[in-house]
Amino acid sequence: MVPKSENTTQRPWGFFTNIVQGEGFLVKLIHVNPDSQLSLQSHNHRFEHWHVVKGQATVVLGDRNFILNVGESVDIKVKQIHSLQNLTENPVEIIEIQRGELLSEEDIIRYQDIYGRA
C-alpha cells in the first residue's frame, strides 16, 4: 500500500517517502515492488547508505551483485555505479541515508533503466 503523503513520490518500481531532511542529509524509505528494480545509476554529489528493513534486496555495486537481507546494509560512494533490484515475490523496503552537498533527484545519472528513463 502506497502512503498518501506530500512526502511520497511514485515511481514505476514502487515509491519513496522522504522521512527527514537536514543540512547535508536526507533519510528516505524506499519501497520496491516484486520483480522491479531501480535504474543502474550513479550520483556526483552524494554518498548513500542502504539498510534493508523488509524483504531481500539484490544490490548491483560496480561489477558486483550480492544479496542483502533484513538488518544488512551497504555503503555507496559518490560516483559509484549501483542499482537495487527486487527479484522476489514480496516487497523490499530499505532506509536510505543520503549525505552530500546536493540531495535531489537531479543528481541521478542513469546508465540503464527497464522503464525507459535512461
Condensed to tens digits (0 to 9), the pLDDT of residues 13-72 reads 999 999 999 999 999 999 999 999 999 999 999 999 999 999 999 999 999 999 999 999
Condensed to tens digits (0 to 9), the pLDDT of residues 63-102 reads 999 999 999 999 999 999 999 999 999 999 999 999 999 9
Count the domains in the chain.
Answer: 1
Condensed to tens digits (0 to 9), the pLDDT of residues 92-118 reads 999 999 999 999 988 999 999 998 887
- 103 lies in a domain? yes
User: Which amino acid, residue 64?
Assistant: R
Residue 1 pLDDT exceeds 80? no
- 117 lies in a domain? no
- In the numeric block, the cell 515511481 is attached to 11
- 118 lies in a domain? no
Enclosing domain of residue 32? 8-112
Q: What is the mean pLDDT of the chain?
A: 94
pLDDT the model gives residue 116: 87
pLDDT the model gives residue 117: 86
pTM of the model: 0.91
- Cα separation of 4 and 20, whole Å? 16
Whichever domain contains 94, its CATH number is: 2.60.120.10
